[in-house]
Structure 1
Amino acid sequence: MGGTMTAELQPAGLHSLQPDGSAWPMPPQDGYTTDDFFALDLPPHTELIDGSLVFVSPQRKFHSLAIDLLAYTMRRTVPEHLRVRREMAVVLGPKQVPEPDLVVVAAEADADPVQTRYDARDVVLAVEVVSPDSEDRDQDTKPRKYAAAGIRHYWLVTMDENNRPAVHTYELDPHTGAYTPTGVHHDKLKVSVPYDMDIDLTEIDRL
């Protein structure tokens, strides 16, 4: 984001300075679009929500371990027509580009090794692991937007009293266009959709 920029010479669309002397991006009056977002030089894992940039705070160890556990175990049984990917941007609309912690996508949408994003229509499951700074987004904002974009399955992963993942599973109700809860899974996650999985959540203790 222009590490050599000074306060006296700032191009349009930038204001103030970060601690390293580079300028913070300033959103256009109507917010950033998806095209704007992918043209910006942003920190890793930045998201676009309602035309505004959302930056990621340092993550807890639980967050990383939960993603590792789920990614590894989900891949063990993933069918040929699907792929499991972590921390990839998903384009939901003109001003919406969240980055789920995990997605299950159609294999045919995963052919390009240098791609940086998926379209919502190619995503069959989005997974968010809750962090203190993302709790409201993961429990409210993002699932509403995932549902509106037609993503059929959503998982919300929280940390239980034993510091292990509790996986809250949801499925899109085609009549209401909203997610319906289908279960809360402790210690073991056994589901048949979007494909058969049997995951020992206690394995996080050994990672």
Structure 2
Amino acid sequence: MGGAVTAESLSPWPVPPPDGYTVDDLFTLPDLPSHAELIDGSLVFVSLSPRRIFDMATLYLLESGSRRTVPDHLLVGREMTVVLGPRDAPEPDLFVVREEAVRSRRQISFEAANVLLVGEVVSPDSEARDRDTKPRKYAAAGVPHFWLVEMAGDEDHPVVHTYERDPVTQVYALTGIHHERLRLSVPFSLDIDLATGPR
């Protein structure tokens, strides 16, 4: 005879524990969709709606441009989990991490202490998380630099807002809004033409 029918047994998704999920749960729960994130102990799944060409092309533009000039001791990547705390493990669109943090080719996450920069491309289905929730959490976890990328203008070109963490207030301060060119000296020298837009 089968057991009693409960809400848990009828649900296709795991029912969260009373205190929410932990990072350990994120890495061990079976059958989670790819690119699941953990925010405030809640699982967040990437939208199943098609991703815009803007998002993919902009990420390629920023990733390839960063790879050209990043120092040897740093690694540029995208869409991997960054553990900020026991109940927070988002997956930034773009990140720069210290090379010594790479321990294995099977590695699936990085600790915030080893991350120098994170970037988020604002998507229609994640605007509040990209503009508010994630930046606050990245800053609180000590990630020194943050980029927020928006679509703008008649040409739908990328605009990059760059931020640096104030060690006293532990929040991000805006250091620039880049429409035509992303030219920086920190956290490393960088010069990316944004005016032509992603292709």
Q: TM-score, normalised by structure 1?
A: 0.88
8 Å contact from structure 1 (residues 69, 203) kept in 2:
no
Paired residue type of 1:52: S
Change (3 A) 1:29 1:109: same
Percent of aligned pairs sharing the same letter = 56
Corresponding pairs, count: 194
Match of 1:87 among 73, 76, 79: 79
Change (3 A) 1:202 1:15: farther
Change (3 A) 1:81 1:12: farther
Change (3 A) 1:11 1:78: farther
8 Å contact from structure 1 (residues 89, 97) kept in 2:
yes
Q: What pairs up with 1:159-198 in 2 under 5 angstroms?
A: 159-161=151-153, 162-198=155-191
Take 1:9 and 1:143, find their aligned partners in 2: how far apart are those partners? 45
Could you list the runs of 5+ residues in structure 2 that have no partner in the other structure?
none
Map Cα deviations across residues 150-197 of structure 1 (whole Å, 9 max, x no partner): 000000000011211100000000111100000100121000111000
8 Å contact from structure 1 (residues 189, 201) kept in 2:
yes
What SS class does the counterpart of residue 96 from structure 1 fall into? coil
Could you list the runs of 5+ residues in structure 1 that have no partner in the other structure?
1-7, 18-22
Which residue is equivalent to 2:89?
97
Take 2:19 and 2:129, find their aligned partners in 1: how far apart are those partners? 21
Change (3 A) 1:186 1:9: farther
Change (3 A) 1:98 1:10: farther
Which residue is equivalent to 2:42?
52
User: How much is the aligned-residue C-alpha RMSD, in angstroms?
Assistant: 1.9
Which residue is equivalent to 1:74?
66
Match of 2:20 among 24, 31, 44: 31
1:120 and 2:112 aligned = yes
